[in-house]
Chain A
């Protein structure tokens, strides 16, 4: 069976207006349908710019110099408006507070907002809202005011609003940085469930332990360039990782110092389960 590529990026180059340095420099990669991809790198490496290029904010909103090709769900970003792209790809930002419309009084209506804007048929709309309320574990809160939710619940609502539009790909830019540990875990679990349902996930994240646990593949970006794109085990086992301003999961850090590797793969552990297995004396 041929797996569908939901994202294909070819030699993408981009420079913001009035700057001299490339924010994205010759980036090429592709992502399979339903894959969960984590993006890591230090501040200003180009992670958020890459997200913006996938949804079309780059170049349509930010303008600037653009070269190469980004194709999402078979549609080329350069030839489609941000509005058209929204039918194929959705984005969730860092701060849940800034994503809630504040125009709606209940969680239910908030999720309906995007669908109303698509001019969707009422029967289909109700069906989709019920589906996402269940998927994101928000059914018990459907009549609540969005601003009376906790941070984790509000971020799940932001994701629900995007899912209801049935995009093929969802991009999340540090969605858990403002959340407490329980809220972060809720978001990761919800996103993992989506990826199992076939939605392609691209997530920028600083919490390496979580990325190692949940992502299928990890992309390392530095100074606008893609340094590596591989399994969490292979990527975090790189000995030169710290040169790019990235610290691997703490389990990998201690394994590197103690030279504890999986004998068959020659790779370091990246999750607590792998670490428990390899550190048992």
Chain B
């Protein structure tokens, strides 16, 4: 069974002004990035997946259940959403209470919730801050607290809204590690983002939205190879991929690591060849 099925979905906030038009895709466990310009419909799509909005046309199924037949509260056990701005999400004055709030809210006992919260704090490496006030922490740390608050609910689907925004490199590295960990634990990780380097490094599949329509859907490699289609949607591939294009490489690389190993092996080949001549 698919974790997510989006079937012919259209949505409008006001009469006939459709911000999403005839969108269809299915998702299994793994990682998916949804990219597109501001106003392309990314946030609306996420709200539909979370059951906060219901499609005007078509259906959204989460683990086979139509979101029209259930409530956002029930879906919360399956779908977790980390807000873009942690300050919009965090409201308790102690880190542990904040991270325990979600599990308690979906019906876990206090002991269970505490255990899950402590495990989530361990994942984001902030165990030692559990008794502090979130607002005494840095923005990067608060972002990680907002992530832990969702991880503690142990949902099968975790959605991130712009997780790398306003993050310094320490925060970005933590976020990347968390995405990889969730994927290896068999979750479905979905992100909305403008950070193409983050997509190239951490996400297997990319869905491109443009003016409410699904423009591209495929592996990150396939999507980022189509520079012309992307530029029509005012998007650019990751910097590493752009460099590969400019160097006229046949192959496309999405992360610094893959570029480095390719370049190293070619440099060695060239040196061996030069030595022969």
Q: Which residues of A contact B (CB under 8 A)?
A: 41-44, 94, 150-152, 174, 177-183, 206, 209, 242, 245-247, 249-251, 253-254, 257-258, 272, 275-276, 279-281
Contact = CB atoms under 8 A, between A and B. Distances in A.
Interface stretch (B67-75, B102-110, B241-249): B241-249
Interface string B107-140: 0000000000000000000000000000000111
Given A179-B194, A251-B239, 4 more contacts: A42-B170, A206-B167, A275-B243, A279-B263
Given A272-B243, A276-B243, A254 B138 contact: no
Contacts of A182: 37, 234
B247 A43 contact: no
A184 to B, nearest CB: 8
Nearest to B255: A250
16 contacts: A42-B168, A43-B139, A94-B166, A177-B165, A178-B165, A180-B38, A181-B235, A182-B37, A245-B170, A246-B168, A250-B256, A254-B259, A257-B260, A272-B246, A276-B243, A279-B243
B39 interface: yes
B168 A43 contact: yes
Would you list the 5 A-B pairs with minimal beta carbon distance, nearest first? Answer: A247-B169, A42-B168, A182-B234, A43-B138, A180-B38
Contacts of B38: 150-152, 179-180, 183
B260 A180 contact: no
Contacts of A280: 247
A206 B256 contact: no
A140 to B, nearest CB: 17
Contacts of B206: none
B196 A181 contact: yes
Contacts of A247: 169, 172
A254 B256 CA distance: 6
A181 B168 contact: no
A187 to B, nearest CB: 13
Interface string B30-57: 0000000111000000000000000000
B243 A181 contact: no
Interface residues of B, number: 35
Interface string B195-211: 01100000000000000
Contacts of A251: 239, 243
B240 interface: yes
Contacts of B165: 177-178
Contacts of A41: 168
A257 B139 CA distance: 30
A245 B141 CA distance: 14
A281 B166 contact: no
Contacts of A250: 197, 238-240, 256
Interface stretch (B5-13, B153-161, B264-272): B264-272
Given A44-B138, A180-B234, A183-B38, A254 B240 contact: yes
A182 B259 CA distance: 26
B25 to A, nearest CB: 22
Contacts of A272: 239, 242-243, 246
A43 B140 contact: yes
Given A43-B171, A281-B267, A276 B166 contact: no
B97 interface: no
B236 interface: yes
B139 A258 contact: no
Query: Of residues A182, A209, A246, which shows the largest number of chain B Cβ atoms within 10 Å of its Cβ?
Result: A182
Nearest to A260: B263
A230 B93 CA distance: 42
Nearest to B256: A254
A99 B229 CA distance: 34
B158 to A, nearest CB: 23
Contacts of B139: 43
Interface in B216-264: 234-236, 238-240, 242-243, 246-247, 256, 259-260, 263-264
A246 B168 CA distance: 7
A96 to B, nearest CB: 11
Contacts of B247: 276, 279-280
B256 A253 contact: yes
A181 B194 contact: yes
A246 B139 CA distance: 16
A189 to B, nearest CB: 14
A45 to B, nearest CB: 8
Contacts of B166: 94, 174, 177, 206
B277 to A, nearest CB: 15
